[in-house]
Copies of this chain bind each other. A is one copy, B any other.
Amino acid sequence: MTPTIRIQREDFDPAAEIAAMSAGRTDIGAVVSFSGLCRDEAGTLSALELEHYPGMAEAEIARVAAEAAARWPLMGLLAIHRHGLVRPGEQIVLVLAASAHRRAAFEAADFMMDYLKTRAPFWKREHRADGTLGGWVEARSEDDDAAQRWTI
C-alpha cells in the first residue's frame, strides 16, 4: 500500500478520489473520508491564503502517512492539501483511508488529520471581507492536544 500525497493549488474532487481508491477492489470494507473546508467566519472572511514549505510539506505528510500505514492495516491512504488562496465554502484538505474494517479506517483518517494540523508546514492568513489583510491564524493548543492522543 503506497500512500498518495498531493500538494496543489487546484481544487480536487473527493468523489473521484473515493471511487479511484475502491475501484475494482473487493477486499475493502470501509472507506473514511475527511474534507476540510474554508469557513467564512460569519461573513468576515473573503479568503484564506495558505503558505507552505515546498519540499518539506510533501516529505512531512509522507512521513505521517508512513506512520499511519505502519500502525493500521490500510488498503488505501490519500492526503491532498491545497496552497494559495482558498475561498469560503471551498475545500482545503482531503484525507481518505480504506481498510477491511471500520475502526482502522476511522482511526487512520483521524490520526492523519491531527498530524496534518500540527506537523505539516502550512500557515493560514486571513483575507477579510472588508478588503484588509488579516493576521496569521494562530495555532490552537487543542490541535496539539488532539495530536497527543496518539502515542508515536
With both beta carbons as reference points, the residue of chain B lying nearest to A117 in the complex is identified as B102
B-facing residues in A10-30 (Cβ within 8 Å) = 13-16, 18-19, 22, 24-30
A58 interface contact, C-beta 8 A: no
With both beta carbons as reference points, the residue of chain B lying nearest to A42 in the complex is identified as B27
Q: Are B33 and A33 in contact (CB under 8 A)?
A: yes
Q: Are B89 and A25 in contact (CB under 8 A)?
A: yes
Give A29 to B88 CA distance when docked, in angstroms.
Answer: 9
Q: Are A39 and B28 in contact (CB under 8 A)?
A: yes
Known contacts A106-B106, A106-B110, A110-B106; decide if A37 and B18 are in contact (CB<8 Å): no
**Copies of this protein, total:** 2
> Chain A: how many interface residues by the 8 Å CB criterion?
36
Interface centre among A24, A40, A103, A146 (most CB of B within 10 A): A103
Known contacts A14-B15, A18-B15; decide if A32 and B34 are in contact (CB<8 Å): yes
A31 interface contact, C-beta 8 A: yes
30 A-B pairs with CB atoms under 8 Å apart are A14-B15, A14-B33, A15-B16, A15-B18, A15-B19, A25-B89, A26-B38, A26-B39, A26-B40, A26-B88, A27-B40, A27-B42, A28-B39, A29-B36, A29-B38, A29-B39, A30-B35, A31-B34, A31-B37, A32-B33, A32-B109, A33-B33, A33-B35, A34-B102, A39-B100, A102-B113, A106-B106, A106-B109, A106-B110, A106-B113
